Amino acid sequence: MNLDENIKNQIEQLIQKNDVFLFMKGNPDFPMCGFSSVASAILKKCGVEFGHCNVLENEEIREGIKAFSNWPTIPQLYIKKEFVGGCDIMKEMAESGELIELFNTRGIKTEIQ
């Protein structure tokens, strides 16, 4: 799929402005999908500040992010502009402690809830 230059710029700005950014369905308080719910709960539990984009409100970003990351599903987590993965990878990393470690090595403040 071709990625529109304008959409690409929008996505790049989002992940540049926010050290931790989650593309999700719904928002962290009202997730609209089980996977997005798990993803935002993991971030909340780590106590990190994170930005989010509700892809249900933006069809262009919804399709664009799939091409941008070469990843067909939502949610998608970015840390310091780097694609970390979707819900399953986040879960594995959270369970093994890798996620907290990643935040720490990237200098992102965590406060485990």
Partner 1 sequence: MPIEQNKLEKIITDKFPNSRILVEDLAGDNNHYSVTIESSMFNGLSRIQQHQLVYKSLDGLMDSELHAMQLKTKGTE
Which of residues 2, 5, 70, 97 is near partner 1 by CB under 8 A?
A: 70
Which of residues 7, 89, 102, 108 is near partner 1 by CB under 8 A?
A: 89
Per-state percent for the chain, helix, strand, coil, to nearest 5: 50, 15, 30
Minimum CB–partner distance for residue 29 and partner 1 (Å): 22
The contact pattern for partner 1, residues 26-65, with x = CB under 8 A and - = no contact, is --------xx------------------------------
Angle between helices 5-17 and 59-69 (to 10 degrees): 80
Three-class DSSP category at 25: coil
